[in-house]
Amino acid sequence: MKKIIVLCLFAFLLSCDSNKVETVTVKNKFSLELPSFLSKARDLHNDASLQYQNAFKEFYVVVIDEPKQEFYDVANTTTDFTPDLNGYYQILKSSLEESISDTQFTPTKDIQINGLKAKTFSFTGEIDNLPIFYDIAYIEGKETFYQVVIWTLKGSKEKFNEPMDKIISSFKEIGSGRKSDRSKK
């Protein structure tokens, strides 16, 4: 009986903190509001400037920031991509399609996130025969492109859809102070 009470208390405590958020600022470049059930991670992506996870809930968040000039240099050497947010999106989405099997994408939305141009979309796919759900935003900052990539198991899509949307809509480039108009999916 004691074990059941302890398990119920543990489950209650886990559910209580799911609405709490903390603002995380990275490199004095950007901030993001993350659910308090996440903790720092180190090995989710080599190029990520922000990495948070909850392995128990199978919920992960990374942000990759890249100087626009680096992308412009690459885009100017090829005629396939324009040196703007659309070109950035095309390159990254093509890479996703090539590296993840059985992908099914939602339509891409052109939105503003705290005054910054962004492209958002979701997709499901398989990695090592494991079905995964991703929610992604590519955001154009003043001098930087940002990738906000959030994922969970495909079966947890409905459970985490709202927190994923909130995380993405909370993105702020430091000093921008603009409001988000991210619409619900």
At residue 18, the pLDDT reads 54
* Rounded average pLDDT over 91-105: 91
3-state secondary structure of 53: strand
Q: What is the pLDDT of residues 136-179, one digit of tens each?
A: 999 999 999 999 999 999 999 999 999 999 999 999 999 544 44
Instruction: Identify the structural domains of the chain with CATH numbers, from first to last.
Output: 21-173 (3.40.1000.10)
pLDDT at 15 over 90: no
- HSE-CB of 28 using CA atoms within 13 angstroms: 0
Summarize the chain as % helix, strand, coil (round to 5): 30, 40, 30
Whole-number average pLDDT of the chain: 86
Q: What is the pTM of this model?
A: 0.83
